[in-house]
Amino acid sequence: MVHSRISLKTKNRFKNSMRDVVSGLGKDVTVYKQPLKAECLNCFYDKLTNSSTGKCKWTALEAITKQADYLASGGAGLQYKFFKVGRCPVCKGKGFLETPRKVWVNTLVTWNPQNRGNTLRTTPAGYEGATVAELKTDPKYHKLFRDCQKVVIEGNVCKLAKPPVLRGLGNNSILVVTVFTTDTTDKESDGILKQY
């Protein structure tokens, strides 16, 4: 009896240390939530094509006044700019503006976990030769990772290879997220941020 109690205690200590390992050796990765989308205020939106109609909502004077009011009320960036016909200079013809939302999460990153027998059997279509990474982190980030748009690890843009998995039980559980690298760099999102 005494023996089994000790071993259980040891076992728990070992399990609890898993999270300590994550917080001690982990690094911050950037998790991008689905961006907030808002219809462009500068052009008419076309619901059929899901893009801008290429027509400005305002006259040149209205656009100048609105942009001035917008900046005066604490807004930043370009929100109103007159154009005759063609690509809206505010939304670049998309019809909506996207605001990236990112969160930093401390995770334990293992590149190429295949080497430990955790093979990702099929490479997602179109991503042959992609590098796989396994992230271990706190289960409280389950929803965040499940619904994320992408994950950036050391500048590498990654997508989920499969839904995140919880391993273990209760307080001892850990979230395992398998991702793979894509060819895109992280420039795009930063570019959008700067334009605002």
Please report, as ranges, the residues that interact with Zn ion according to CB under 5 A.
40, 42-43, 52, 88, 90-91
Q: Which is nearer to Zn ion, 89 or 124 (CB)?
A: 89
- Of 106, 195, 185, 110, the C-alpha closest to 150 is 185
Q: Which is nearer to Zn ion, 52 or 107 (CB)?
A: 52
Q: Which is nearer to Zn ion, 22 or 90 (CB)?
A: 90
- At 155, list the tokens: 């500048």
Smallest gap from Cβ 196 to Zn ion, in A, equals 14
Smallest gap from Cβ 188 to Zn ion, in A, equals 19
Backbone Cα Rg of the chain: 23
Smallest gap from Cβ 137 to Zn ion, in A, equals 38
Q: Which is nearer to Zn ion, 24 or 86 (CB)?
A: 86
Smallest gap from Cβ 52 to Zn ion, in A, equals 5
- 108: how many CB neighbours lie within 10 A of its CB? 19
